[in-house]
Structure 1
Amino acid sequence: MAILSRRRFLQACGAGVSAASALTSGCAPFITPDAAQRSGSSLSCAQPTQRETFDYIVVGSGAGGGPLAANLALAGFHVLLLEAGGEEENYDYQVPAFHARASEDERLAWNFFVRHYEDDVQQRRDEKFLPARDGVLYPRCATLGGCTAHNAMILIYPHNSDWDHIAEVTGDPSWTAERMRRYFERLERCEYVAASETASRHGFEGWLPTNVADPTLMFRDEFLAILALAMAQESLATSGGPVTRVPQRLESHLDPNDWRLVRQSGEGVCKTPLCTHGGRRFGTREYLRRVRDACPAQLVVRTHALATRVLLDESNRATGVEYLSGEALYRADSRHTAPLAPQRFTASATREVLLCAGAFNTPQLLMLSGIGPRQELERHGIAVKVELAGVGANLQDRYEVCVVSRMKAGFSLMKGMTLRPPSPGAPPDPQFEEWLKGKGPYTTNGAVISLIKRSSPRQPEPDLFIFGLLGSFKGYFPGYSEGIAREDDLFTWAILKAHTHNTGGRLKLRSSDPLDMPEVNFHYFEQGAGADDDLAAVVEGVRTVRRITARCQAVTAEEVFPGEAVETDEQIAQFIKDNAWGHHACCSCKMGPASDSLAVTDNRFRVHGTRNLRVVDASVFPKIPGFFIASAVYMLSEKASDVIIEDASGAVATAPASGFVAQGNLR
């Protein structure tokens, strides 16, 4: 089996070396990261035949499936990657500041509508709730790269307790935080810290570039500078003393991904690392392109391929995947129309089927395949192959709310800002022109300043992430992205609660039709120990924001959302219950031992009761990790790559800090 060292592959990609020095195993010449971003060629190879055979079939190209497929291809395996969406390449995808538009771009978006509560009265208190859809908009992404194609690109390292918890519940020490850090080092190509800073344990040779916004951007606008100063003062209030030289302090202050600060559970004003390169979004799509161009014989990518079920033999061994070929087949796609007999194909896997379709679609696909709660399957006339009560259970998410303030004048930085691609005849957008040169606010996701803190001294780790955004944002509803920059004198403080305790979320099938979306209810603040603590923590987040704005009354006119009438803790708590949302769904196929009645996968990602079937995405976490889930899923994917290659080779894989997918003797 031909195997390509990831170290050599990634070094070649980064340096753009000649084909002669880069090639091994008959792979094609490498391309640079810049060329990977510019490439518009389709990854889809020859049209499928009715039945094809591969070593591995990966379903889903997001943070879990994309790197996994690429890594297995680099290891010499013949891999089929199925992606239900297409491969659109446009400014909504490329421009970091347009991520809200990307989430509503009909060529990229899957629009789920979810409930937060069982009680209709409470649910209808949320202005974002649409009775006709019986839910609140929950944007997902169907395109090459999955949700890495529309997310806010934030890469915040998980808490060490997230990994240690998995090690504890599985009894597998390879999941401990110390050992998991190597996967972060392996995947990251840090571009904002000097490689000589080895104590930071950043990665510098990985496939995923990380950057931070130019901290001087906020000081191009007087109002932003005052807001930044107020947040810094709030951050340092407990330590006393005035805040001076704020730009320099922000430049050298908290890097949330620095290993030394991770171990200390650091708090304070922080940089916000982003997955960007040259001021453009960089995600799994770019990695897949680089690997596909290098090893076209190993990696076959099929877009517009909607997996409908996993094929199991009589011994519950996964033998392949059935999928439909066509655009906008899934009803979450706003372009969906009744398909005219879409083509149905079957692909066979000689080794394994790997489900990476995300916290909504992976449990749906398992249930459509006869794996899940017996009562749920029988309700829809699906033959039970493997009874697993935990499929679709334990669904978790964060609680997020926003506080919106009106300034005494418009932000100068927003003058002429449209937050949209240029259109013929429209006035020029100076910020877009600056982005074309790789500079300016459009090279960021709009988060101008961030704060990490504990909601109370009793918290063992920081559990609040607060960041400021130009414009108005109150959560997700159809058309939300158009209103963000409509008024240039609004500023949003987004509050994110980590380590939420609610484990009562549930996903069920709407029908046995694979084109249907599942029914999703997160049961906010209803189930799981600690619901009151979660609510109190978000109340403290709102209080923190108000303390910050109180420090900058010279530029702040009023709070418009929720407004001054919402003042007592009880009123703030009700506001939170009425308006909270989330966008980091996970844990719906949780990892755990077979003795756990709700466990779906074991410590090596294998689905209990089956053979040759694994899940590698956000659904396998037992508890929701960290602040932003992408980094944890990327690390999960790297670990799964090692585990799968180990099991295929019989050798013990290791992942040295320099970074590559290791298999026994590979270095």
Structure 2
Amino acid sequence: MYDFVIVGAGSAGCVLAARLSENPDARVCLVEAGPADDSEDIHVPAAAARLFRTEFDWDYDTHEEPHCGRRRIYLPRGRVLGGSSSINGMVYTRGSRADYDAWGQPGWSFAEMLPYFKRSEDNERGPCEHHGVGGPLSVADGRSRNPMSEAFVRAAQEAGFGPNPDFNGHSQEGFGHYQVTQRDGSRCSSAVAFLREAERRPNLTVVTEARVHRVVVEAGRAVGVLGRRLGEDFELRAEREVILSAGAYNSPQLLMLSGIGPAEQLDRLGVPVVVDQPLVGANLQDHPQTWLVFGHSRPVSLLTAGTEHNVRLFLRERTGVLTSNGPEAGGFVRTRAAFAEPDLQFSCLPVAFMEGGLSAPSGHGISFGSCVLAPRSRGEVTLASSDPTAKPRITHRYYEDDADLETAVEGVRTALEIARQPALAPYTETALAAPASTSDTDLRDYVRHHTQTLYHAAGTCAMGRVTDAELRVMGVEGLRVADASVMPRLVRGNTNAPTIAIAEKASDLILGVPPSPQETPGPARRAVSNP
């Protein structure tokens, strides 16, 4: 018996376990389906792609995507302590102030969320109006600074885009180097940041390799979870609350397996209906990404990571290629001057990134491209079976709204313009993945057949639809969801930092802590025309 049972030890779950167990009288249990994060590949930043389709990955795919050539698109998700923060690209961005304000949920404006971002943060640049120090999450400037990443930023400026030294400052717009969640050159996952200290507390129990099958609901209240661990069934009881932090795919799946979801679908699969909630699993959003890939002969890509020189640099100085987070540099762009916020985000990888990272590069290369930041298209997560070990049926429906496709096409046009600049000339010798021409037809065809996920799934247990503004599941007492699935709309940027901030706020909501004082909004931003 515990006070709180948290399902999922990912970006949000580790935060909740740490914050809730700060109260010595609270008995907290954190349950994770995957193993401990003790693989060296997790903690060496440049090794992230080696974790794909291993024991540390849920290894999901979309169903056939109707607007992407009916392809099934690979969706890696962390299945390990730290969740996706143990296998991601470590980019620390928060999104736009306007994103949170547009959620329209009391207590969730950007001014109200900024204190939670700053509470987590230990930024090596020091404190300022935008950043905090002293928190558990180390945020640092990248130590790799690959020459290709530097060249990409210079090329973007040659193409007419301005610089941006801090994408979490006054404005997102412009190009520069990302800050990363690293500590002393190693990955600082949510498990490293929040769980390591907390695990020592006698009131926190962490259970790994334990697959939760469903939430137990009695008389309209969540009282625990059932699952299976190492071949044996288990039950964990929660006197106060069950909290799902299993992510945008698994949290709605668990709700539906527990009888909370679309009644018609649940009836069809033989799942007893507890609450008819048709919006569970709906509203699925992601940032569809389209990469250009070029090969060259210069030995500076991530393929050099295993050389004796680079291994020595990492072990002795905690610098060099092995500290690369992958997307070292990037930028935010408005495709129309009339837009108040960026609608494209660019990323640059110092490696030939083919087939969503599932194809090993045969030579040195560079990859860069953009994602659609504010997609209008919506997908869904549904049950494929009542068997709790079956993978959910995921359909993102990328580009169902043609406006998303047109934005993606503009992103490819802009990436091609950047590729033509002198700074990138040494690294764009051979096109390995690029459109056949710059015609609208060829660009659209390229986008449809080369789009990948940017790993930013959100929205499937959205506030105002499935959960209320305190993240309580509507229709069931004692049950909350706290992860990226509660976002009503996807933020314009990477989702790890926002998910951690959501969990920080969730811990206060659960414990009844008064909200932090709101931050004073920054000055109004001047509109800048997009070149």
Using the size of structure 1 for normalisation, the TM-score is: 0.74
Name the counterpart of 2:159.
234
- Residue in 1 that maps onto 2:189: 283
Could you tell me which amino acid in structure 1 is paired with residue 368 of structure 2?
A: W
> Aligned partners of 2:149 and 2:166: how far apart in 1?
21
Give the Cα separation in 1 of the matches to 2:350 and 2:363. 10
Taking the aligned partners of 1:162 and 1:397, their CA distance within structure 2 comes to: 14
SS in 2 for 1:202: coil
Change (3 A) 1:412 1:321: same
**2 CA distance for matches of 1:656 and 1:439?**
38
One-letter amino acid matched to 1:487:
G
Distance of 1:433 and 1:112 partners within structure 2: 36
Find the residue that maps to 2:310 and give its secondary structure.
helix
Paired residues for 1:595-614 under 5 Å? 599-614=465-480
CA contact (8 A) 2:66 2:397 kept: yes
Q: Does 1:274 align with 2:149?
A: no
Q: Is the 8 A contact 1:102 1:149 kept in 2?
A: no
Counterpart selection for 2:36 from 59, 84, 87: 87
CA–CA separation in structure 2 for the residues paired with 1:152 and 1:181: 22
Structure 2 letter corresponding to 1:233:
E
- Corresponding residue for 1:522? 396
Deviations 1:336-384 (A, max 9, x none): xxxxxx2111111110000011111111111111110001100111111
Q: Secondary structure at the match of 1:175?
A: coil
Shift of residue 107, structure 1, vs aligned partner: 2.8
Report the alpha carbon displacement of residue 419 of structure 1 after superposing the two structures with TM. 4.4
1:312 maps to 2:217: yes
Instruction: State the Cα deviation string for residues 208-248 of structure 1 (Å, max 9, x = none).
Output: 00011248x34xx4x665444222222447xxxxxxxxxxx
CA 1:399–1:224 in structure 2 vs 1: closer, same or farther (change >3 Å)?
A: closer
Decide whether aligned partners of structure 1 residues 519 and 652 sit closer, same or farther in structure 2, where only a CA change above 3 A counts: same
Output the CA distance in 1 between the equivalents of 2:32 and 2:323. Answer: 28
Query: Cα distance, 1:291 vs. partner?
Result: 3.0
Shift of the 224–183 alpha-carbon distance from structure 1 to 2, 3 Å rule, reads: closer
Q: 2:228 aligns with which of 324, 327, 332?
A: 324
What aligned pairs does 1:143-222 form with structure 2 within 5 A after superposition?
A: 143-166=80-103, 168=104, 170=105, 172=106, 174-191=107-124, 193-195=125-127, 198-199=128-129, 201-214=130-143, 217-218=145-146, 221=147
Is it true that 1:411 corresponds to 2:298 in the alignment?
A: yes
1:255 aligns with 2:166: yes
1:329 — aligned with what? Answer: none
Query: Which residue number corresponds to residue 494 of structure 1?
Result: 369
Counterpart Cα distance in 1 of 2:412 and 2:194? 41
Which residue number in structure 1 is paired with residue 335 of structure 2? 455
Q: 1:431 to 1:116 in 2, by over 3 A?
A: farther
Structure 2 residue aligned with 1:441: 321
- Tell me the equivalent position of 1:61: 9
**1:545 match:** 415
The one-letter amino acid of 1:89's match is D
Contact 1:318–1:353 (Cα < 8 Å) also in 2: yes
Note the residue ranges of structure 2 that are not aligned, 5 or more in a row.
520-531
Q: Residues of 1 paired with 2:518 and 2:112: CA distance?
A: 11
| Equivalent residues of 1:99, 1:152 under 8 A apart | yes
Aligned residue pairs total 514
Partners of 1:224 and 1:184 lie apart in 2 by: 27
Q: Which stretch of structure 1 is more off in the superposition, 533-542 or 389-398? A: 533-542
Partner of 1:109: 57
Q: In structure 2, do the counterparts of structure 1 residues 636 and 224 end up closer, same or farther at CA, with 3 Å as the change threshold? A: closer
CA contact (8 A) 1:186 1:656 kept: no
SS of corresponding position for 1:110: coil
Cα offsets for 1:312-354 (capped at 9, x unmatched): 112x10011111112xxxxxxxxxxxxxxx2111111110000
- In 2, the alpha carbon distance for the partners of 1:86 and 1:655 equals 38
8 A Cα contact 2:85 2:190, kept in partner? yes
Aligned partner of 2:324: which letter?
Answer: T
Q: Aligned-pair distance for 1:418?
A: 4.6
SS of residue paired to 1:590: coil
2: CA distance, partners of 1:307 / 1:383: 17
User: Per-residue deviation at 1:656?
Assistant: 8.8
Tell me the CA shift for residue 115 of structure 1. Answer: 2.5
Structure 2 partner of 1:100: 49
Which amino acid is 2:376 matched to? H
CA contact (8 A) 2:262 2:277 kept: yes
Once the two structures are superposed, residues 406-428 of structure 1 have per-residue CA deviations (whole angstroms, 9 ceiling, x without a partner) of 33xx223249x4546xxxxxxx4
Give the whole-Å Cα distance in 1 for the aligned partners of 2:188 and 2:289.
25
| Alpha-carbon distance, 1:441 to partner | 2.2
Rounded Cα–Cα distance in structure 2 between residues aligned with 1:231 and 1:83: 42
Would you say the 8 A contact 2:463–2:487 is kept in 1? Answer: yes
Deviates further, 440-449 or 106-115: 440-449
Kept after mapping to 2: 8 A contact 1:607/1:614:
yes
Match of 1:72 in 2: 20
Structure 1's 618 and 293: CA in aligned 2 closer, same or farther, altered over 3 A? Answer: closer
Q: Aligned in 2, Cα 1:235/1:94: closer, same or farther, shift over 3 Å?
A: farther
Distance apart, 1:150 and its partner CA = 0.2
| CA deviation after TM superposition for structure 1 residue 310, in Å | 0.5
> What do you get for the CA RMSD once the two structures are aligned?
2.1
> 2:287–2:372: 8 Å Cα contact kept in structure 1?
yes
Q: Classify 1:612/1:554 alpha carbon distance in 2 versus 1 (closer, same or farther; 3 Å).
A: closer
Superposed displacement of residue 448, structure 1: 4.0
Identity of aligned residues (%): 30
Tell me the residue number matched to 1:7. Answer: none
Work out which of the residue numbers 377, 393, 402 in structure 1 matches 2:282: 393
Structure 1: distance between partners of 2:290 and 2:355: 7
Is the counterpart of residue 469 in structure 1 residue 401 in structure 2? no
Instruction: With the length of structure 2 as denominator, give the TM-score of the two structures.
Output: 0.92
For residues 533 and 325 of structure 1, what CA distance do their matches in structure 2 show?
46
3-state secondary structure, aligned to 2:273: coil
1:131-156 alpha-carbon deviations (Å, 9 max, x no partner): xxxx3221111111111110001111
| Conservation of the 8 A alpha-carbon contact between 1:116 and 1:524 | no
1:567 and 2:472 correspond: no
Q: Secondary structure in 2 aligned to 1:363?
A: helix
2: CA distance, partners of 1:434 / 1:107: 29
What's the CA shift string for 1:149-191, capped at 9, x where partnerless? 100011112211221122x2x3x1x211111111111000001
The residue matched to 1:581 in structure 2 has which SS?
A: strand
Q: Distance in 1 between matches of 2:504 and 2:79?
A: 22
- Cα gap change, 1:475 to 1:459, in 2 (>3 Å): farther
The Cα of 1:494 is off from its aligned counterpart by 2.9
Q: Of the candidates 243, 246, 249, which is equivalent to residue 354 of structure 1? A: 243
1:236 to 1:366, Cα distance in 2 relative to 1, 3 A: closer
Q: 1:446, CA displacement in angstroms?
A: 2.8
- Give the residue type in structure 1 aligned to 2:444: A
Which has the higher Rg, Structure 1 or Structure 2?
A: 1
CA contact (8 A) 1:292 1:299 kept: yes
Q: In structure 2, what is the Cα distance between the partners aligned to 1:544 and 1:73?
A: 48
SS in structure 1 at match of 2:452: coil
Q: Is the 8 A contact 2:199 2:206 kept in 1?
A: no
Amino acid in the other structure paired with 1:85? G
